[in-house]
Amino acid sequence: MNPLTFSSTNADSVRLLIVDDHAVVREGLEAMLRRDPLFESITTAASGREALQLCAADPEKPQVVLLDVRMPEQDGFTVLEVLQREHPQVRVIMLSASATSAEVTLARRLGASGYVSKTTDRQSLVAVIRTVARGGTSFASQAPVQGEALNALSARELEVLRHLGRGMSNSDLGRILGVSEHTIKSHLKAVFGKLGVADRAEAVARAYELGLVPLER
């Protein structure tokens, strides 16, 4: 955890939390953004768990969380779900090295306010954060390509695959997603076909390869 606080006379100044498991990315983003007068403070977290602990402990809360999609232990979508449930006033921008249209759609469905690439330049990133902090949303009009199989997955199929990686049964999946087991079976059949796998185990293995399911430490 690395909090930095800056003096600012900007009434619209923003308290930002950057969450990424790679130190180079965290420190690079922090260095890139910390001189901009938009930010009242910048705090960093190396994991989803640390980010959630920070939000729970801070009475003011960050206004905006810049949240990496792919992290071990808890992926960004899992953290997003918890933030939406426990700290709905916090606005979240998902951060990804490479995204698919399904991931962007899933981020919207789970309540994210934006989705940006790690290759975004400073000026554009600041503009997105400002827009989200003021109550707006900002999503790329077209997600970068990340393989035909992954791009073929719908947002709901991607959601099923992520939960599948947690070892959930069809009945568990149906209860969480609010659909019947028959519908879950239909989703799984579609996922298996699009990923070119034969069963749940192969689908989960493929999900690990694609970075859709976090590796447990």
Question: For residue 43, what is the domain's CATH number?
Answer: 3.40.50.2300
Question: What's the mean per-residue pLDDT of the chain?
Answer: 83
Residues 89 and 165 in one domain: no
Residue 210 has pLDDT above 50, yes or no: yes
Residues 102 and 49 in one domain: yes
Residues 59 and 113 in one domain: yes
Length of the chain in residues, anyone?
217
Domain-located, residue 215: no
Place of tokens 């991931």: 103
Number of domains in the chain: 2
Domain-located, residue 120: yes
pLDDT of residue 9: 35
Residues 59 and 108 in one domain: yes
CA dihedral 188, 189, 194, 197 (to 10 degrees): 90
Domain limit, last residue, from 93, 116, 139:
139
pLDDT of residue 197: 81
Please state the pTM of the whole predicted model: 0.70
pLDDT of residue 148: 56
Please give the C-alpha separations between residue 160 and each of 6, 43, 130, in angstroms, as whole numbers.
Answer: 42, 32, 33
Domain-located, residue 217: no
How distant is the alpha carbon of residue 152 from its chain centre? 20
Burial of residue 192 (number of CB atoms within 10 Å: 0-12, 13-18, 19+): middle
CATH number at residue 190: 1.10.10.10
Burial of residue 182 (number of CB atoms within 10 Å: 0-12, 13-18, 19+): exposed
Residues 110 and 161 in one domain: no
More confident residue, 202 or 3: 202
